[in-house]
A = this chain, B = another copy of it.
């Protein structure tokens, strides 16, 4: 039954051999791998303004442009450094692998933990921001934003449990739809502003802009910069996904990087420019892009198109996290730093446990932060840039170690990347610390510690289970101990007889064991036992507290019992199974309790002997006979 439901929700299970990868050309490959990077455009500019406007008012716009410029520069540096990762790790070089193989396991784990945090936040941020796009289009949905976000996450979870291949061309379309609708917005916006009759009528939300007129401080600009950095998150994706490209996959991946960089450059730069000329002012009810779209197109089809494409690409971005997070965890799990279950392919060949972990965490984040992107952003970039820094540093070390042709120039590029990103981490951690970065600064090390503890545990298990090959030939399988079977019974019935017979087939040392909970309750059993023609002894113990396991264990441990230390004792539990589940509920299935209790007793093997019962038609007859008897007894 349950299996049926499972299959209906998750679809038919897949064979291991069905595991396959689709290959893509530059055009689609880039679109599929970059939704995360490009979608950030949807909120990056807005986040910069959130910081500036309340403080320096109208002055914000020119500064915003400068900051956007800096971020774009950062983007290009990252692009070129990652193009080198593509050269060095043709099979895909995530921060975890690069850091682990070039720096050390510990740095690998730090990168891994930061990435894990980053992916979780990607889901939370993208989905809440996508919901913001929806509520900007349909304001009456604003009160339900948390529910909407959670619903979308659950949808993605089910989808990914079913095994959406993120390597499906379909997933490239939203990226281009978004890019082109944004470009359309930019062009139309530019034209309308230059030749059109557009005059900047301050919207109510703009009214307070006038007030913020304090001095511009470096700290303020750095805070704004940190917020803007959200725009470059996700650029690592391509370097992880090199195998998804048609050969020559490395060359294609590198071209894809240039494509990505220019796409972000145009869209991010363009939106920044528009926000500037249209003086958009962020407010929780309408996203900046929505404001501009309204100014440019009015609330017409184009406006709604932009909101829809934004929502979809943001959902795609979250989806890439759903694709990468479980793979990352499975890699870590394979190295023994995370629970093994995360390395198991489920029902549909995906790492279902990883998917569920991610969605749970993301949902918690969304709820805790009331579905507000703006509150989540401060946590976001720390993890991303930590992993950037570590992978860049890794690459830097890589070149220094190998000293291949052109190593120096390559080392310089990655060194620069590492340098810039590390500075950025610092800036973000400091400027965003009070607003929430502290959470990440606490979480990442904690996760790393847990990972080390887990690995330690697995190692201890391995050490205790391991048998060196050289000793294998000398293992002796003939037991040097004697073996006892104890059969707990509450009455003498067909099931018990079957059990005793089975016990006899194991060893001559069989004992029946009964617990007497009421004075004289066992007498009937004693009488019946006396009639038996067998050497099996019946042991009866009193239990004033009506419990069975205690007396049993006491008996086993007592002198009274013939077994020597080191002997193995099997407790054989006869358990009957009835056809219907509700019938099972009609029996106090003691044996299950006994079993669970005994698992914690050493040198005791717990055996369950099933005895199947039917619903007998013969019964109805019996039932009526009895009814008649009653009648007679009364008349």
Contact = CB atoms under 8 A, between A and B. Distances in A.
A610 B605 contact: yes
Given A461-B613, A614-B460, A15 B544 contact: yes
Nearest to A516: B16
Contacts of A15: 544-545
A607 B570 contact: yes
Main secondary structure of the interface of A (DSSP, over half): mixed
A345 B481 CA distance: 41
Given A458-B586, A463-B618, A622-B459, A104 B505 contact: no
A495 interface: yes
Contacts of A345: 546
Contacts of A464: 494, 613-614, 616
Nearest to A461: B613
Given A477-B500, A544-B16, A578-B457, A599 B610 contact: yes
Interface string A429-462: 0000000000000000000000000101111110
Nearest to A586: B339
Contacts of A506: 483, 506-507
A613 B463 CA distance: 10
A533 interface: yes
Nearest to A506: B506
A492 interface: yes
Nearest to A611: B465
A588 B341 contact: yes
Contacts of A610: 599, 601-602, 604-606
A456 B568 CA distance: 41
Contacts of A104: 627, 630-631, 634
A536 interface: yes
A405 interface: no
A477 B501 contact: yes
Contacts of A476: 501
B568 A475 contact: no
A610 B506 CA distance: 18
A409 interface: no
Nearest to A587: B340
Nearest to A585: B339
A262 interface: no
Contacts of A631: 104
Nearest to A106: B627
A507 B502 CA distance: 12
Contact of A483 (B463, B505, B533): B505
A608 B344 CA distance: 24
A517 interface: yes
Interface in A586-631: 586-588, 595, 599-602, 604-610, 612-616, 618-620, 622-623, 627, 630-631
Most buried by B among A460, A576, A608: A460
B477 A536 contact: yes
Contacts of A504: 477-479
Contacts of A460: 613-616, 619
A583 B459 contact: no
Contacts of A608: 595, 599, 605-607
A89 interface: no
A485 to B, nearest CB: 10
Contacts of A142: none
A469 interface: yes
A546 B601 CA distance: 32
Contact of A612 (B463, B528, B602): B602
A497 interface: yes
A340 B586 contact: yes
B623 A459 contact: yes
A568 B502 contact: yes
A534 B630 contact: no
Interface string A472-497: 11111111010100000001111101
Interface string A399-413: 001000000000000
A467 interface: yes
A215 interface: no
A493 B465 contact: yes
A494 B605 CA distance: 16
B467 A401 contact: no
Given A501-B477, A614-B460, A340 B588 contact: yes
Given A472-B531, A477-B501, A619-B459, A105 B577 contact: no
A475 B532 contact: yes
A208 interface: no
A420 B531 CA distance: 56
A392 B531 CA distance: 47
A587 B501 CA distance: 36
A605 B605 CA distance: 12
A463 B587 contact: no
Interface of A: 13, 15-17, 102, 104-105, 339-341, 344-345, 401, 454, 456-461, 463-467, 469, 472-479, 481, 483, 491-495, 497, 500-502, 504-507, 517-519, 528, 531-534, 536, 544-546, 568, 570, 575-578, 583, 585-588, 595, 599-602, 604-610, 612-616, 618-620, 622-623, 627, 630-631, 634
18 contacts: A16-B517, A340-B586, A344-B546, A454-B586, A457-B578, A461-B576, A461-B578, A461-B613, A464-B613, A467-B493, A469-B528, A475-B533, A478-B504, A479-B502, A479-B504, A483-B506, A602-B610, A607-B608
Q: List 6 tightest A-B contacts by C-beta distance, closest first.
A: A465-B493, A15-B544, A479-B505, A472-B531, A607-B607, A460-B619
